[in-house]
Each structure stands twice: as structure tokens, then as C-alpha cells.
């Protein structure tokens, strides 16, 4: 076997290009640039038809192979005259190419059948999915990427301009290597998507498909590098938001904005949630979205400074006027009125995001060293009829309303979590504590003196009566908690001694 040079690092002149694309974005202008530069174009099926309709000369692949497209288009480019033209090394294989009448191909422009879009449809059939598995496309891409020493390969329309700029001087080695790397990433993601679809159909398997979204300025701390990845074809979540103004989102911004918007999306009435360091520091509901914001801010104005503000209704000018009075990192809402956006522009560093209400995902993912944890998402809906009153004193109507408001907020707080709330706002939070009694003391301390007509919510059961004895020293007269402790009777008896109402939900809402 005769090998060529280990690697050709010279610029390559593009004389002959093969174009076969499913996504035809920008292809007319790009093909015209190639044609104007004297590049011979080879093409297939619909792409060749489109080029000719736009007066761009293109030779059909069937005229090169002397073999028609067959089997409903399944076989058209899988031929030695195509793959020999792509894979041949110009120094070692020139004689072989001449013997078999193979002309070298210098540029391969291919993107693949839309498998991801096909399987995203609600009514997709297995037959339809299978027919949208590309075979010839990945084969040409991989061949060109393997032979990037001599061939350029383009899978992304965003790279067309870079190729056009190289037509006169030739395509340099570094650019060819970058394009080849991108091509292998493209085919790897494509194959992994197919594998995942078939595996999920065949068995109880789960695969994740992620696409790089952006490099971030840094991670949780400035010395940590960070990157954001996105699930393809998922148009819900912070990475799908429209950013109207402000600096790029940081790692912490994205995490906190996600937490805030998930929480506020739990409510149907006008609501606001302000998150600081991954936890709600203020949440409220109101008659208007402006009322909700002001009430949420009142819950803990000190912690709200530099926080993430999430609204579940359109941000209007009245709300915007209030928001700009203190420093916030991010404001996120389903939409903004034009005058609200104009007002927010007075804070050019404020990141302003619009995003439709969160879709209900069915899974939560958490990466750990060496693996991945997957659980069902806590999409449980609070139903007041499911509450079990376990004490002599019954909760009042206002206390029950406060409980229904507090539970969705509590679900977004880090365990151990205690929330003190009124019927329309949070008053004090105790989060991330290693004991429940510490969380109770912290929540009461944060609430300060504003404990009149408040309830206390706990994300898990009370293991001992000590927390109840602390609560009894305040004006809190009602508690909501999951129940389920071996000490439940002792805890209930403590509530009865102190004249406190307690209800059990039967479900805890830990969030680690």
C-alpha cells in the first residue's frame, strides 16, 4: 500500500464541490459564490433542482456515477466515483484516480435529513422516523472529515461565509481541521439521537442529547471555566429565552433564573418570585403584577438586592418603574410592554429576558462525578382537599390560603427548608440548614416581628417536638408539613398543648 504525506498542510484550491443539503438556508448565495469563482458543482436530487432553478450550473450525481438514484432515493451517492473523489489523497492516489476515471472533490457541503424535527412531532410513526435516517450524508461527511488534509467539509450554513472568503487564496489547514472536527461532532450527535430514539422505543432506556449553546464568562467562581449546553428541539427554559438587553448571562444567572422562573410558573394569578443564591428570598401574589413585585420585594428587600426577578405575567411600565429602583441582575417575564422595555433601558447592564411559561418536564437531571442521577420531576399539584388536619385546632380560611400559596414556593427552596408566609407573601425563609430546628430558627429570625397571621411550612417532617416549642413562642398558629415521622404523635401533642393547628400533606418536597 502506498501512503501519501502524513498530512498536507498547504492551502487547497477549491475546484470541485459536492452540495447535498436538507437545510437549504443560505445555499443559493453560497453556491453562486462558488460558481462565480469557477468551482464545478456536483449535486443531488432536490438540491440540484433548486440550484438549476436559480440559474446555477450543477452536475447531477447520477451523471457522474452513470447510475440513477434508486430505492426511493436511499441509494444515490454511495458509489466509488463519489467516495473515491472525496477520500483520495492527491499525491498517493492520483494514478488510481486516473485509472478509474475519478475526479477529486475538494469541498463537501452536506447537512442531514431532519431526524430531530421528525421525531419531535407528536404523531410521528416509527416508519417515518426510519425514513428520515440519513445514510449517504453521514458517509460523505465522515469521508471528507477523515480526508481533511485534502478536502474541506461544511455541515453548518454559518460556515459558508468563511469558505467564500477562502476561494481566492485557498482553504488553509487550520480551517479544514476545524471544519472536520465540527463535522465529526455533527455526525456523532446525529447517530446518538437515532440511538436514543430507538433505545427508548425498544426498552426503558434514557439517552441525553446536548448541543453546545455558549461559552460562559466563567462558572460559579471566576477561576472556573464554564459552558452552557442545550437539549435540541426543546424551546422551554432559560436557554430558549429572548434577551432584550444587558450583559451575557453568567453561570449563576442561568441557574438562578431557571429556579425563579420554575417557581413563578407554578402560579396562575399574578405572581413574582425573587431568587438570590438559588433560593426564593421573596415571593408574592397580587391583583396586578406590579402589586405582586412590590409585595415580594417587601418580604426581604435586603436579600433582593442583586437578585433575579421572575414574573408570570406581562411586565408593564408600572412594574418596570419599580424594578429599576434597586439593583437586580435579571428580570424574566413572559413578555414586556414597549414602554416597560424603554424604562428598563435606563439600566443597560440589567439582563431582560422574555420566556413563555415553563413547560412541564417529566425528569430532573443531576450530574455527579462518574455518573448521572435521573428522577421524576416533582410536578405534584397542591390540592387543599388532600390535606389532613391532625390537631384539635383547625386552620382558618386565611391560614389555608397561606398554605396553598406557600407550598409551591417551598418546593424550590433548598433543604432543610422552612417557610413562614401569609396568604399572599413570604415573610421569612430558612434554607439549606443541616437540622430542621436550625431552619425554623432562621426562618423566624428572618421574619423578625412580622409573624401575626402567618403560617409555617416545612418541606419534610419534624423529627422531634423541639421545633414546635420554638414556634409556640411566636404568633404563628398554623403549620403545614408532610408528616411521616415516628415522632408524629409527640409533635401533634406539642401542637395541641400550644393551640397550634397542623395539617399533613402526605408528600414531602425536599430539594437538594
Are 348 and 407 in the same domain? no
- The single-letter DSSP state of residue 43 is E
Question: Residue 242 class from Cβ within 10 Å (0-12 exposed, 13-18 middle, 19+ buried)?
Answer: exposed
Are 56 and 171 in the same domain? yes
Are 59 and 187 in the same domain? yes
Are 187 and 242 in the same domain? no
Is residue 370 in a domain? no
Are 53 and 198 in the same domain? yes
Number of Cβ within 10 Å of residue 441's Cβ equals 17
Are 343 and 396 in the same domain? no
Q: Where is the domain boundary, 336, 354, 372? A: 354
Catalytic sites, residue numbers: 146, 277
Query: What pLDDT is recorded for position 325?
Result: 95
Are 313 and 277 in the same domain? yes
> Which residues, in sequence order, are CB contacts of 179 under 8 Å at separation 6+?
145, 148, 152, 153, 154, 159
Domain that holds residue 128: 16-202
Structural domains in the chain (count): 3
- How far apart CA 333 and CA 314 sit, in angstroms, is 6
Q: Where is the domain boundary, 354, 371, 391? A: 354
- How far apart CA 164 and CA 34 sit, in angstroms, is 7
- The single-letter DSSP state of residue 179 is H
Number of Cβ within 10 Å of residue 71's Cβ equals 7
Cell of 506: 402526605
Q: Tell me the pairing of strands 271-276 and 279-285.
A: antiparallel
Is residue 406 in a domain? yes
Instruction: Report the CATH number at residue 76.
Output: 3.40.50.1380
- How far apart CA 14 and CA 12 sit, in angstroms, is 6
* pLDDT in single tens digits along all 512 residues of the chain: 444 556 788 888 999 999 988 888 899 999 999 999 999 999 887 888 899 899 988 888 888 877 777 777 677 777 888 888 888 888 888 888 788 888 899 999 998 877 777 777 778 788 888 887 777 888 889 999 999 998 999 999 999 988 888 888 888 889 999 999 999 988 888 888 788 777 766 555 556 677 788 899 899 999 999 999 887 667 778 888 999 999 989 999 999 999 999 889 989 899 999 999 888 899 999 999 999 999 999 999 999 999 999 999 999 999 999 999 999 999 999 999 999 999 999 999 999 999 987 666 677 888 888 887 888 888 777 677 788 999 999 999 999 999 999 998 998 888 889 999 998 999 999 888 889 999 999 999 988 767 888 999 999 999 999 999 999 999 899 999 999 999 999 999 999 999 999 999 988 888 87
Is residue 359 in a domain? no
Q: Give me the sign of the Cα torsion angle 336, 342, 347, 351.
A: positive
Query: What pLDDT is recorded for position 79?
Result: 82
Query: What pLDDT is recorded for position 359?
Result: 64
Is residue 43 in a domain? yes
Number of Cβ within 10 Å of residue 35's Cβ equals 17
> Which residues, in sequence order, are CB contacts of 274 under 8 Å at separation 6+?
260, 280, 281, 282, 283, 296, 297, 299, 300, 303, 304, 307, 308, 309, 310
Are 52 and 143 in the same domain? yes
Helix, strand, coil fractions of the chain, as percent rounded to 5: 35, 20, 45
Flag whether the pTM goes above 0.75. no
Instruction: Calculate the alpha carbon distances from 10 to 15, 141, 143, 150, 489 in Å.
Output: 15, 21, 19, 9, 81
Q: Annotate 377-444 with three-state secondary structure.
A: CCCCCCCHHHCEECCCCCCCHHHHHHHHHHHHHHCCCCCCCEEEECCCEEEEEECCCCCHHHHHHHHH
Evaluate whether 371 touches 393 at the Cβ level (below 8 Å). no
Evaluate whether 16 touches 61 at the Cβ level (below 8 Å). no
Are 390 and 334 in the same domain? no
Instruction: Report the CATH number at residue 446.
Output: 3.40.140.20
Are 500 and 440 in the same domain? yes
Is residue 295 in a domain? yes
Query: What pLDDT is recorded for position 2?
Result: 47
Q: Where is the domain boundary, 154, 173, 202? A: 202
Evaluate whether 299 touches 281 at the Cβ level (below 8 Å). yes
Is residue 236 in a domain? yes
Are 282 and 336 in the same domain? yes
Is residue 268 in a domain? yes
Question: Residue 282 class from Cβ within 10 Å (0-12 exposed, 13-18 middle, 19+ buried)?
Answer: buried
Query: What pLDDT is recorded for position 332?
Result: 96
Strand 271-276: give its sheet, edge to edge.
242-245, 351-354, 328-333, 307-311, 271-276, 279-285
Are 195 and 332 in the same domain? no
Cell of 301: 428587600
- The single-letter DSSP state of residue 376 is E
Is residue 475 in a domain? yes
Amino acid at each position: 500500500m502506498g501512503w501519501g504525506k502524513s498530512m498536507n498542510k498547504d492551502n487547497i484550491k477549491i475546484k470541485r464541490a459536492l452540495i447535498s443539503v436538507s437545510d437549504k438556508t443560505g445555499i443559493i448565495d453560497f453556491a453562486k459564490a462558488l460558481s462565480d469563482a469557477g468551482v464545478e458543482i456536483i449535486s443531488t436530487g432536490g438540491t440540484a433542482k433548486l440550484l438549476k432553478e436559480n440559474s446555477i450550473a450543477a452536475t447531477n450525481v447520477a451523471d457522474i456515477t452513470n447510475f440513477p438514484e434508486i430505492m426511493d432515493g436511499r441509494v444515490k451517492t454511495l458509489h466509488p466515483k463519489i467516495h473515491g473523489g472525496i477520500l483520495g489523497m492527491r499525491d498517493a492516489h492520483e494514478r488510481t484516480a486516473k485509472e478509474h476515471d475519478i475526479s477529486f472533490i475538494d469541498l463537501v457541503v452536506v447537512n442531514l435529513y431532519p431526524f430531530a424535527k421528525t421525531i419531535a412531532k407528536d404523531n410521528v410513526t416509527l416508519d417515518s422516523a426510519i425514513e428520515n435516517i440519513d445514510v449517504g450524508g453521514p458517509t460523505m461527511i465522515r469521508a471528507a472529515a477523515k480526508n481533511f488534509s485534502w478536502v474541506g467539509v461544511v455541515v453548518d450554513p454559518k460556515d459558508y461565509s468563511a469558505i467564500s472568503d477562502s476561494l481566492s487564496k485557498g482553504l488553509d489547514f487550520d480551517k479544514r481541521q476545524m471544519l472536520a472536527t465540527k463535522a465529526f461532532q455533527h455526525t456523532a450527535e446525529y447517530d446518538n439521537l437515532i440511538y436514543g430514539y430507538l433505545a427508548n422505543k425498544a426498552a426503558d432506556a434514557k439517552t441525553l442529547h446536548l448541543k453546545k449553546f455558549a461559552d460562559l464568562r466563567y462558572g460559579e467562581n471566576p477561576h472556573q471555566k464554564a459552558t452552557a449546553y442545550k437539549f435540541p428541539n426543546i424551546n422551554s427554559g432559560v436557554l430558549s429565552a429572548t434577551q432584550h438587553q444587558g450583559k451575557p448571562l453568567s453561570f449563576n444567572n442561568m441557574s438562578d433564573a431557571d429556579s425563579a422562573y420554575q417557581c413563578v410558573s407554578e402560579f396562575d394569578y399574578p405572581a413574582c418570585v425573587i431568587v438570590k443564591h438559588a433560593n426564593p428570598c421573596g415571593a408574592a401574589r397580587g391583583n396586578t403584577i406590579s402589586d405582586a413585585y412590590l409585595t415580594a420585594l417587601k418580604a426581604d428587600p435586603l436579600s433582593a438586592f442583586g437578585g433575579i426577578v421572575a414574573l408570570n405575567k406581562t411586565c408593564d411600565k408600572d412594574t418596570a418603574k419599580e424594578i429599576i429602583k434597586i439593583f437586580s441582575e435579571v428580570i424574566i417575564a413572559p413578555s414586556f410592554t414597549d414602554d416597560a422595555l424603554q424604562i428598563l433601558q435606563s439600566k443597560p447592564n440589567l439582563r431582560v429576558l422574555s420566556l413563555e411559561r415553563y413547560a412541564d418536564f417529566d425528569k430532573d437531571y443531576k450530574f455527579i462525578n462518574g455518573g448521572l442521577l435521573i428522577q421524576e420531576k416533582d410536578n405534584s399539584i397542591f390540592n387543599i382537599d388532600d390535606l389532613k388536619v391532625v390537631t384539635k385546632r383547625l386552620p382558618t380560611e386565611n391560614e389555608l390560603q397561606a398554605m396553598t400559596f406557600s407550598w409551591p414556593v417551598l418546593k424550590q427552596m433548598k433543604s432543610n427548608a422552612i417557610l413562614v408566609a401569609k396568604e399572599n407573601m413570604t415573610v421569612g425563609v430558612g434554607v439549606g440548614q443541616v437540622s430542621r430546628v436550625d431552619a425554623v430558627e432562621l426562618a423566624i429570625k428572618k421574619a423578625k416581628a412580622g409573624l401575626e397571621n402567618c403560617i409555617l411550612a416545612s418541606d419534610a417532617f419534624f423529627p422531634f417536638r423541639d421545633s414546635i416549642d420554638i414556634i409556640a413562642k411566636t404568633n404563628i398558629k398554623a403549620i403545614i408539613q408532610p408528616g411521616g415521622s415516628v415522632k408524629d404523635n409527640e409533635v401533634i401533642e406539642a401542637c395541641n398543648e400550644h393551640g397550634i393547628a397542623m395539617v399533613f400533606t402526605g408528600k414531602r418536597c425536599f430539594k437538594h
